Every structure is written in C-alpha cells, then in structure tokens.
Amino acid sequence: MRIIGGTAKGRRLASFRGMSIRPTTDKVREAIFNILPRLFAFKNVLDLFAGTGAIGIEALSRGAATATFVDSEPKAVKIIKKNLDVCGFIDKAAILAKDVESALNMLSKKGEKFDLIFIDPPYNTSLMGIALNHIGNKGLLAADGLIVVESSKRMIWDGELKGIELTDRRRYGDTVVSFYKTGNRQNP
C-alpha cells in the first residue's frame, strides 16, 4: 500500500497482517481522489474507522491542512502514528483512540466542522448508518463539505438521514463509494 499522489506520493505505508482490518485499495483511493480535486479545496479532514490512516494521509499529501483519525483498535492507532511519521504529517494530525460514536460526540461538543469526512466501517455491521446519522445530527459537516463512504456492494446505506443527502454512488468491483453533501446540491 502506498500514497498515490501529492507531496508524499510513492511512500509505502505500514499495514496489517490478515484481514481483521480491510484497508482501502490503491485503486479505490485513486478513484476517490480523482473525483475530489474537481469538487472543492478541502482543509479539515475526518477519517473514521481509519485503520492504517491511508485515506486521511492521502488527503494530507494532496493539500489538506489537518486530518483527524478515529479508530478504537490499539494496533490501528500505532500504525496510523507510524504512517503519519513516515509521511511527515504528524504535526498536521490528531488521532482519537475512541469508538466512532464517542469521537463524534466529543468533536461536536468542541464545535468542529469538517470539509471532508471519510467513513469506511467494518463490512457487515450497522456502523455506517450510525456514523452518518451522528454526523448529520451533530452538524459536523461543513456547509460545502462532502462525506465519502466506502462499503460492500451488499451493505449499501439507503436509510433516511437528517441534514445530509446522497448525491452520487459509484461501484468499483465489490466496493461501492457513496458521496453525501448537506442540503440539496448537485452531483459531484
């Protein structure tokens, strides 16, 4: 696994053995970031269920000012720190070793807003809907912000959401990437 573009392009990232954590593939990450630059300039990024931190680090490499990484798994937190250090972004990052609900509640109380939020929960769980609902209810997405959700084609969220709406969905093999924005906006 490596960084695809930006100032840390080509840097190899530490990963996990086995499949307990499923990092976003280089192909899917590249597809996501090929869409994003045409949309807006993102400054503050939130990477939920961060795993290796590859998505948030990719955003930092491509010009994001800050990134907040959330993962409750101690191994993931260690790997995120290692990858941030290897890429030279440790000073632009915050790592929250918490479950997503607790982290979102804390960020909301602090009044945080994010331009770009990535959600890549473990497949076959209800965590995607929980995260999307918390983000919408807590107003964590900036006015012109974007949420990018990676899921299995068998676990697509189609529930009702407060404050955010689906604007686009793309499929890459067994992976589906869904895009959400606030209010009534055009497709990305």
d(CA 42, CA 112): 14
Task: Provide mean pLDDT across the span 59-69.
Answer: 94
Dump strand ranges (E) for the chain: 44-48, 66-70, 93-96, 114-119, 141-152, 164-172, 175-182
Digit-coded pLDDT (tens) for 91-104? 999 999 999 999 99
Residue 20 has pLDDT above 90, yes or no: no
Banded model confidence at residue 112, pLDDT cuts 50, 70, 90: very high
Residue 142 has pLDDT above 70, yes or no: yes
Spatial strand order of the sheet with 164-172 comes to 93-96, 66-70, 44-48, 114-119, 141-152, 175-182, 164-172
Asked whether 117 and 145 are in contact (CB, 8 A), the reply is yes
d(CA 151, CA 142): 23
Highest mean pLDDT among 6-15, 146-155, 156-165: 6-15
Higher pLDDT, 44 or 152: 44
Q: Name the nearest CA neighbour of 146 among 80, 27, 59.
A: 59
Higher pLDDT, 48 or 33: 48
Sorted by where each begins, the domain ranges of the chain are 26-182
CATH fold of 26-182: Rossmann fold (3.40.50)
Q: Which amino acid makes up residue 39?
A: L
